[in-house]
């Protein structure tokens, strides 16, 4: 059982929904980023998604693209991202960390080396948005063999014919992308999301967490009410990009977590 599996078992037993936060590793700089990540669990975050900075992020809108650029400009690398996770693990051995990014940096490092290093750093799961199920032998299956969850995205365009393929090697949870398009581009609506979550849950026992387009405590509450939890990324990253203090960022995160946990 991974930390992700354990966290969902704990939440289910408590009758609670999950709140997942995304931050870009190294944004606005390594030290501030580490301070924010360390503060997320106390702010109510159940699972941390840690963005891996990359030069060509095809699924990300301007907010997260700019965060990645700030991180890269500050010297952030795959190794420093794993270093950040390692530092976090020195004081927190229970909060799950999902590394979210693109395959190029992983491929460049070598899959076996990457998986060994990620496991050592305390990474619990991977979301690699540019590796479709047809490429599962590339990273997904080796990751699961190494004891990490491989989390897949389902979207409004994932029809009933495609869904079984998407689900076949997914573990940890299913990440449902609530909108068509890039991160931060539109707002999620519970009336649209609810039926889609139900359709996915009819085909899997995994929790279904909804992300993209959630930017207020009320929205987090509404989306969590029709899913197993909510993910917020761009709204948090925009606070960091605006130069808010660590305390201000974490206060905002807490308001979102409180919304998701209110269900």
Q: Give the active site residue among 46, 60, 136, 228.
A: 60
Helix (H) or strand (E) holding 70: helix 62-73
Answer for the pair 174, 206: CB distance below 8 angstroms, yes or no.
yes
CA distance 166 to 187: 24
Alpha-helical regions (H) of 110-232? 111-121, 140-145, 163-167, 190-201, 217-224
DSSP state of 135: G
> How far apart, in Å, do the first and last CA atoms of the chain sit?
26
| Degrees to nearest 5, angle at CA 82 with 81 and 86 | 120
Neighbours of 218 (CB within 10 A): 13
The dihedral formed by the CA atoms of 107, 82, 37 and 259, expressed in degrees to the nearest 10? 40
Instruction: List strand residue ranges (DSSP E) for 122-214, in order.
Output: 125-128, 149-150, 152-154, 174-177, 208-211
Residue 49 a catalytic site member:
yes
Which candidate in 5, 27, 46, 49 is catalytic?
A: 49
For residues 155 and 252, give the distance between their C-alpha atoms in angstroms, rounded to a whole number: 27
Closest C-alpha among 141, 193, 202 to residue 171: 141
For this structure, is 196 an active site residue? no
Q: Which residues are catalytic?
A: 49, 60
């Amino acid at each position: 059982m991974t930390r992700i599996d354990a966290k969902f078992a704990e939440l289910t037993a408590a009758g609670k929904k999950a709140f997942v936060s995304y931050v870009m590793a190294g944004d606005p700089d390594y030290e501030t980023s580490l301070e924010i990540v360390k503060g997320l669990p106390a702010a109510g975050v159940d699972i941390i998604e840690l963005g891996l900075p990359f030069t060509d992020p095809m699924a990300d809108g301007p907010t997260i693209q700019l965060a990645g650029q700030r991180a890269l400009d500050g010297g952030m690398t795959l190794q420093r991202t794993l270093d950040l996770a390692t530092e976090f693990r020195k004081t927190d051995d229970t909060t799950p960390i999902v590394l979210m990014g693109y395959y190029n940096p992983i491929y460049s490092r070598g899959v076996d080396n990457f998986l060994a290093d990620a496991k050592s750093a305390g990474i619990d799961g991977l979301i690699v948005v540019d590796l479709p199920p047809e490429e599962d032998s590339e990273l997904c299956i080796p990751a699961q063999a190494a004891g990490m969850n491989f989390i897949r995205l389902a979207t409004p365009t994932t029809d009933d014919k495609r869904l079984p393929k998407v689900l076949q090697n997914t573990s940890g949870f299913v990440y449902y992308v609530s909108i068509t398009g890039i991160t931060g581009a539109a707002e999620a609506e519970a009336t649209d999301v609810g039926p889609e979550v139900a359709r996915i849950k009819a085909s899997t026992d995994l929790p279904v967490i909804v992300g993209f387009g959630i930017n207020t405590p009320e929205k987090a509450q509404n989306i969590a009410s029709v899913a197993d939890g909510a993910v917020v990324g761009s709204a948090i990253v925009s606070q960091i990009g605006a130069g808010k203090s660590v305390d201000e960022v974490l206060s905002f995160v807490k308001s979102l977590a409180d919304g998701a946990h209110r269900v």
